[in-house]
Structure 1
Amino acid sequence: MKKIAFSLAVSLALSLPLAAQKAPATPPGMTFATNWLATQLITRRELLECLDLYSKAAAGGKTDPVTIWGPVKWLMPVQEAIKALPKGVRKQREFRVTNLAFPQNSLMVTIMAITGSEFVDGGEKFNLIYFISDAKQQVISVQLVQTNPKIVLWQPRPEGVREPYYNFIDDKWNGSTRQCVPFQTKTTSDGVTLIKTALLKLPNLPQPPTGAAPPPNFYAFIPYLESVHWYLPAPFAAKFQEIVEHNRKSGVP
């Protein structure tokens, strides 16, 4: 009788449509809703391609990172992370993430602004810091944004240009042929990757000769409209890889 009941349970589970089956498990530590994987497909192919590129670069690190950025630790309560910031910070806004490219019903973004001085990272000054937290209000990612950059530093130059998204948390992309999105990825510790993007205003300069290298610091001082440092830990990056795979298996090109 037990064998019959077991066989019936297995048959029933295998016969369930994919949409009715549970979403993949959340890695140890992070807490997401049981329905974190969106059933609605992402229709923006460029968004999927950009996330695939960046999350793939970050997904191979440790599954239990220690530090995300500066004083902010992996799975640190968001209120503790705020207290660890310099004096003069203020909450600018807070919102739930509804972008289909992110885990659903699970993430909150808290944006802090600093008055009188800025957060310094990699020699650059940023005026906003974003805490991305899970369903238990634990920080799982950090983003720094400079909305009016005077200088953007590359080491030594961007890896390339990847259009059109440059700020995934705010869902911002380049919509002009007179601008572009240079990028660079860098592993900052075993388990956390810096995804550096910027919105660059193309200068009115003659086209350089084929094969010619730009002059030193060329990329630092040309006009930028926004600079972004997104610190993406490997466990969170792995979830984006699952989202990309889910959409491609479902027919998104």
Structure 2
Amino acid sequence: MSITKMDLKKLAGQAGQYLTRAVQYTEEKLGNAERTEFDGHYETLVKQSDAAKLWTEKLVAGAQSVVIPNPGNRVEDLLFEKLEKRRPNRLSNMEHLGLDMVQAGNEFGQGTAYGAALLKVGGAEQRVGLAERDFVGSAVTDFMEPLQKFLDTEIKTIARERRLLDNKRLDLDAAKGRLRKARNLDSQQAAEADLRICQAEFDRQTEITKLLLEGVRSTQNTHLKHLQAFVAAQAAYHQTAHLAMMELKTELDRKLCSNP
């Protein structure tokens, strides 16, 4: 693959730009160069965006540890997502317990009090375990995945545009420095032209970044709906579990009373 003169010129230009930015950044850190400060509105938007990123990450991680407490299962789910396959619909621990109870009940015999009770309890545990699995699926689909998508799309896009804005700001301040150092009319005119271009690019990138940052606040309404879905799924699970256990307890108490 041949490299044309145009390619070499482009590469040289990019290398020169990176060097100029590095020099400007270093000079600013050393206190030897002035820097353009972002306006207060932009800084406020940045703080709000950073807070949204931080707390959304914490919410996703916290929900994940509650919904999928087994770290091995979390890793397995992540691998399935990377391979663009559906996450495994594995049995819950409660369902496994219910199955063991049913098998034990069959082994001891339905005709025995203990065997019959194990069958009853095992069936109830399986129903509760299934409800738990439904809750996990809803929590992942309706709460965790949308919030993670927000982190993977909007937040990553904002981070990229903020880095680009920082680079445009370095270019602008470097251009201001060249204008201050210009010693003759030709170099001054060239520096002024360069400064106008850098200022326009900086202003344009500032507006683009601000628009993206302002969009973060509007996502809270969407996230509120996801939170409501999470609560509804959790409430449905606990209601199912409560009813199943109360019915089971009533039935077992009645059997114990009739078979002292």
Q: Same fold (TM over 0.5)?
A: no
* TM-score computed with the length of structure 2 as normaliser: 0.21
Structure number with larger C-alpha Rg: 2
Question: Which protein is richer in helix relative to its size?
Answer: 2
Question: Which protein is richer in strand relative to its size?
Answer: 1
* TM-score computed with the length of structure 1 as normaliser: 0.22
